[in-house]
């Protein structure tokens, strides 16, 4: 029922919103998906990762490489982006998930720094094409059966992004409600016991890390389709901070929380940045307050409160 209402909202959105708002809404969904990939790793897997930006960047560069070097169409480029993120997550995730807690955090930061340094050094330009920063020189088009759609249409961009994000969320939902997701929650809550009942802890963490990286990669490719622009900055670990802030504000251990957090983050930034320049200070303070008073996240806390009120 709620899903139908959401779908109706999405379908009706182009009637209400003007073009630039549509693109902004699509961007919120893309960055929300990025925050969700952090939520999967942290909220469901208990791994505090600052490496999500790495896979977002890999998605962007995979898309770039596919269109620039191999002249693939948009479907192929999206596939390449997601595959690049997953393939990169397999070795890096293997290193990271072998260690725990603080080591894990440090390793994810270092992996991001390492990759940024390599890309920036210029010896690895084949990954990035000739440019570290690249604007797509063409408007991407998408073949859907006999029809071709161009991303110059805001309405199509919005529908496509929404559909892709919905698909990814459905996948994430299947993932966390599957036995695999349950096992991972068990590991998060008590690793020693999970290991005692026979779960292969490292393998499961590694798998979740890779799935989440694929989702971050998808967000990266969707971002390129919307903004037609990639930047080496996307690999920086501070970029992961955006996902961390949004997911924690909204609630990292729910699927809707990261989206709610990111929508709140982006809408406030958009409106406040007209009046004050340093919105991030406000978000830093808000983060401290949320961590202190509602560690499960604002969205989750509000949803629970509302449910309590309606029950009475």
Partner 1 sequence: MELLPVLVLNGLVWGLIVALIALGLSIIFGLLDFVNVAHGDFFMVGAVLAWVLIDRTGNFWIAFAIVPAIGLVAGAAIERGVLKPVENDASLSIVASFGLSLILQEGVRATYGATPKRILDPIGVTFPVFGLEYEYYRLFAAGVSLVAMAAFFLFLHRTKFGTWMRAVRQDREIAIAMGVPSDRIFMVTFGLGTAMAMLGGVVAAPLTSVEFRLGLDVLPLCFIAVIIGGLGNLPGTAAAAVLLSVMEGAITAVAEPTTARIISLVLMSVVLLVRPRGLFTRLAT
Site residues for partner 1 per CB under 8 A? 42, 46, 48, 95, 98-99, 101-103, 105-107, 109-110, 113-114, 117-118, 120-121, 238, 241, 244-245, 248, 277-278, 280-281, 283-288, 291-292, 295
Measured from the CB of residue 180, what is the shortest distance to partner 1 in angstroms? 22
Q: How far is the CB of 164 from partner 1 (least distance, A)?
A: 29
Give CA–CA dist 63/91, Å, rounded: 20
Residue with smaller CB distance to partner 1, 20 or 293: 293
Question: Least distance to partner 1 from the beta carbon of 293, Å?
Answer: 9
Q: Which residues pair with 150 in a beta bridge?
A: 141
State which residue, 81 or 261, has the beta carbon closest to partner 1: 261
C-beta of 67 vs 112, nearer to partner 1 = 112
* Nearer Cβ to partner 1 (178/238): 238
Sign of CA dihedral 43, 49, 50, 51: negative
Task: Give the nearest distance from C-beta 91 to partner 1 in angstroms.
Answer: 10
Residue 117 beta carbon to partner 1: minimum distance, rounded to whole angstroms: 5
Closest CA to 34 of 213, 207, 194, 264: 213
What six digits make up the tokens of 89? 């997550």
Among candidates 64, 65, 121, 114, which has minimal Cα distance to 92?
A: 114
Backbone angles phi and psi of 141, in degrees to 5: -125, 155
Report how far residue 295's alpha carbon sits from residue 293's, in angstroms, rounded to the nearest whole number. 6
Q: Which two tokens stand for residue 153?
A: 């249409």
Between 155 and 301, name the residue whose CB sits nearer to partner 1.
301
Structure tokens at 55: 């896979």
The Cα 113–Cα 105 span in angstroms is 13
* H-state helical runs in the chain: 2-16, 19-39, 52-68, 74-97, 101-121, 125-128, 154-177, 179-189, 191-196, 201-227, 237-250, 256-272, 279-293, 298-311
Nearer to partner 1, 292 or 312 (CB): 292
Beta bridge partners of 225: none
Query: 17 or 186: whose CB is closer to partner 1?
Result: 186
Q: Minimum CB separation from partner 1 for residue 34, in Å?
A: 16
What's the closest the beta carbon of residue 266 comes to partner 1, in angstroms? 16
Distance of CA 285 to the CA centre of its chain: 23
Nearer to partner 1, 46 or 93 (CB): 46
Q: Which residue, 237, 185, 222, is CA-closest to 39?
A: 185
Question: Whose CA is closest to 62, among 42, 33, 41, 86?
Answer: 86
Q: Compute the least distance from the CB of residue 241 to partner 1, in Å.
A: 6
């Amino acid at each position: 029922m709620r899903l139908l209402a959401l779908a109706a909202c999405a379908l009706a959105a182009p009637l209400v919103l003007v073009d630039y708002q549509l693109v902004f809404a699509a961007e919120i969904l893309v960055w929300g998906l990025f925050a969700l990939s952090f939520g999967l790793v942290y909220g469901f897997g208990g791994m505090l990762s600052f490496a999500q930006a790495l896979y977002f960047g890999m998605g962007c560069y995979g898309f770039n490489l596919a269109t620039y070097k191999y002249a693939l169409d948009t479907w192929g480029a999206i596939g390449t982006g997601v595959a690049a993120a997953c393939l990169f997550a397999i070795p890096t995730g293997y290193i990271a998930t072998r260690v725990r807690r603080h080591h894990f955090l440090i390793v994810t930061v270092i992996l991001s720094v390492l990759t940024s340094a390599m890309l920036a050094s210029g010896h690895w330009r084949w990954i990035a094409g000739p440019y570290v920063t690249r604007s797509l020189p063409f408007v991407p088009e998408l073949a859907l059966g006999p029809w071709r759609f161009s991303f110059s249409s805001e309405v199509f961009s919005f529908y496509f992004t929404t559909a892709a994000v919905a698909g990814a969320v459905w996948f994430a939902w299947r993932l966390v409600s599957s036995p695999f997701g349950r096992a991972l929650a068990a590991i998060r809550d008590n690793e020693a016991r999970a290991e005692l009942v026979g779960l292969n802890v490292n393998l499961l963490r590694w798998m979740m890390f890779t799935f989440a990286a694929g989702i971050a990669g998808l967000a990266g490719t969707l971002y390129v389709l919307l903004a037609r622009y990639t930047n080496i900055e996307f690999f920086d670990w501070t970029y992961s901070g955006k996902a961390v802030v949004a997911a924690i504000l909204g609630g990292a251990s729910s699927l809707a929380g990261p989206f709610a957090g990111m929508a709140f983050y982006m809408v406030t930034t958009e409106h406040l940045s007209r009046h004050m320049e340093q919105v991030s200070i406000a978000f830093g303070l808000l983060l401290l307050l949320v961590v202190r008073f509602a560690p499960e996240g604002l969205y989750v806390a509000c949803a629970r409160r509302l449910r309590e009120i309606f029950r009475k």
